[in-house]
Amino acid sequence: MSGGLPVAICSTGDGRGGTWGGDGTILFSPQFRAGLSRVPASGGEPIPVTRLDETTQSSHRWPQLLPDGSHFLYLGISHDRSKSENDALYWASLDGRENRMLMRSGANAIYGSGHLLYLSDTNLVTQRFDPARGELRGEPVTVASDVEYDRSTWRATFTVSDTGILVYHPGGGSAGTTLRWVDPTGKQTGVVGEPDLYRDVRISPDGKRLAVTRGDPSDIWIYDLIRGVSTRFTFNQGANEFLPTWSPDGRRVAFTSDRSGRGAIYLNESGGGAEEELLQQSDEPQRITDWSANGRFILYELGEPSKKRVELWALPMSGDRKPFLVIPGSSTDVSGRFSPDGAWVAYNSDEAGPFQVYVTRFAPPSPASRRSPASVGKWQVSSRGGVLPMWRGDGRELFFLGLDNQLMAVTVQGRGDGVEFGAVRPLFAANFPPVGVPYDVSRDGKKFIIYAGQEATAAPLTLVLHWYAELAR
């Protein structure tokens, strides 16, 4: 707390919460779709503690180690909203001998001062709790009402200390995001639609429409930016449809759906009404990332992030449509994007530690030449970490999101069989949520559409001292 150099404990990905025990054990979520792992605070290789039953749940998150140091709380949820009846709070032991459901729930819980605090509707309630036995006692009592809840991460915004301090954020019951136009300095120049739960923004090739993931369960909506109206594009109730991706002519939209449980890629006319076409399906998780400007290829991720083997594949849109490997699997996320001329692919990888942005040549295999991805070379773009790269329309500038939540830019120049990059420069910081693809850029690089958390100027954090003393009264 007094400052100093940060200490690397272990390599991890985009997790959801961690907890530090008195004996130096750190229990944490290594990925947003994974079980929990433990690691010594002195550093080391993480060891799995909980394992997912993917028929019912896809994530264990928001753990809290209990005072005895051997038991903990966590939330188990499913990203497939048709399985939301399996969302629950659990009490478990580090040795794996005990793992018991406490209650059905879709939000985190915290133990403090002999009580369990958890969300019920929009109310923060408390109930007496024996942390060594994992037993709730007595009746629940409301501590605070109208507590903010982030549906995108299944987390209520509150925390308690061992000394009886409670902090929570009032917020109308649900934390949302807003769609905003900003310039390269981050200055807001306009808004799109009303506040909601947004993800995965994508500007149409002609700049006149915007496709965006919206809601929970999520569907895809298309906004007409000229007329200021929105149209729902997908209607699969109970499933999540996300990552809309425009065809180069803007007539079609490809997207990912978890209606099959693992993620499949579908295609439909952007005006809706036509019958959806299934493009790609696999027994492994997959997510569409881009469509080449010449219309010939679709990029998609394939693999399990929790096992750090996500690969980048390309699907030809003609011929036998046989996919081929672009980036081998040694990362937890790749987020590939074609350059406008189709010659390069920008992507991110944590294969060497923190996420960095790379560029590689796109070399589709041919009958005469079967070049492996390793033979085409790669160039590292970022130096201090980065994710979610995107190209300017002329291919001479690359944008990406820094690990400090700043949007970054770097100039690009082709040199024969390679590329050269200028100095990385920050553009602006924003309150980007930790899910989805939170920005897109216009073809000329002068406008950005972002979704960001609403400013909390009207509702500051509330701090309560000795909150449990009120229960005695």
Name the β-bridge partners of 262.
none
Residues 62 and 28 in one domain: yes
Residues 198 and 121 in one domain: no
Residues 248 and 221 in one domain: yes
pLDDT tens digits along 16-71: 999 999 999 999 999 888 899 999 999 999 999 999 987 889 899 999 999 999 99
Q: Is residue 472 part of a domain?
A: no
- Quote the CA–CA distance of 206 and 249 in Å, as a whole number: 8
Quick one: DSSP state of residue 306?
A: G
Residues 200 and 257 in one domain: yes
Our CA angle for 42, 48, 54, nearest 5°, is 150
Query: Domain ends where: 137, 172, 207?
Result: 172
Look at residue 152 and tell me whether its pLDDT is greater than 50.
yes
Q: Is residue 155 part of a domain?
A: yes
- Quote the CA–CA distance of 113 and 116 in Å, as a whole number: 8
**Least confident range of 130-134, 281-285, 315-319, 353-357:** 281-285
Q: Is residue 1 part of a domain?
A: no
Taken in order 217, 220, 224, 230, the sign of the CA dihedral is negative
What is the pTM assigned to this prediction? 0.73
pLDDT at 458: 57
Find out whether 247 and 271 touch, Cβ atoms under 8 Å: no
DSSP 3-state of 373: helix
Which amino acid is residue 387, in one-letter code?
Answer: V
Find out whether 29 and 60 touch, Cβ atoms under 8 Å: yes
pLDDT at 305: 78
pLDDT tens digits along 398-437: 999 998 889 999 999 987 678 899 999 999 998 787 778 9
pLDDT at 456: 45
Mean pLDDT of 197-207: 94
Look at residue 370 and tell me whether its pLDDT is greater than 70.
no
Cis peptide before 217 (omega within 30 of 0): yes
Q: Is residue 324 part of a domain?
A: yes
What count of residues does the chain have?
A: 473
Look at residue 373 and tell me whether its pLDDT is greater than 80.
no
Residues 281 and 185 in one domain: yes
pLDDT at 457: 46
Indicate the helix (H) or strand (E) that contains 45.
none
pLDDT at 374: 47
Look at residue 91 and tell me whether its pLDDT is greater than 90.
yes
Q: What percent of the chain has pLDDT over 90?
A: 64
Single out the residue of 358, 323, 365, 329 nearest to residue 344, CA to CA: 358
Single out the residue of 199, 197, 404 nearest to residue 287, CA to CA: 199
Residues 94 and 197 in one domain: no
Single out the residue of 34, 120, 19, 18 nearest to residue 77, CA to CA: 34
Residues 356 and 370 in one domain: yes
Q: Is residue 467 part of a domain?
A: no
Single out the residue of 61, 56, 109, 51 nearest to residue 84, CA to CA: 56
- Quote the CA–CA distance of 201 and 440 in Å, as a whole number: 6
Using CA atoms, how far residue 446 sits from 81, 186, 293, 339, 407, in Å, is: 37, 11, 20, 18, 13
Number of compact structural domains in the chain: 2
Q: Quickly state the pLDDT bin for 92 (edges 50, 70, 90).
A: very high
Find out whether 179 and 201 touch, Cβ atoms under 8 Å: yes
pLDDT tens digits along 105-115: 999 999 999 99
Query: Domain ends where: 147, 172, 197?
Result: 172
Mean pLDDT of 239-261: 91
pLDDT tens digits along 401-410: 998 889 999 9
Single out the residue of 346, 287, 279 nearest to residue 316, CA to CA: 279
pLDDT tens digits along 289-316: 999 999 999 999 998 876 778 999 999 9
Between 446 and 304, name the one with better pLDDT: 446
Residues 222 and 157 in one domain: no
Q: For residue 56, give its domain range.
A: 18-172
Q: Is residue 290 part of a domain?
A: yes
DSSP 3-state of 305: helix
- Quote the CA–CA distance of 179 and 453 in Å, as a whole number: 9
Single out the residue of 1, 5, 42 nearest to residue 23, CA to CA: 42
DSSP 3-state of 430: coil
Query: Domain ends where: 172, 202, 233?
Result: 172
pLDDT tens digits along 358-367: 999 998 887 5
pLDDT at 469: 83
Residues 331 and 257 in one domain: yes
CA dihedral of residues 332, 334, 335, 337 (deg, nearest 10): 180
Backbone angles phi, psi at 82, to 5 degrees: -70, -10
Q: What percent of the chain has pLDDT over 70?
A: 93
Q: Quickly state the pLDDT bin for 372 (edges 50, 70, 90).
A: very low
For residue 227, the domain's CATH number is 2.120.10.30
Find out whether 333 and 287 touch, Cβ atoms under 8 Å: no
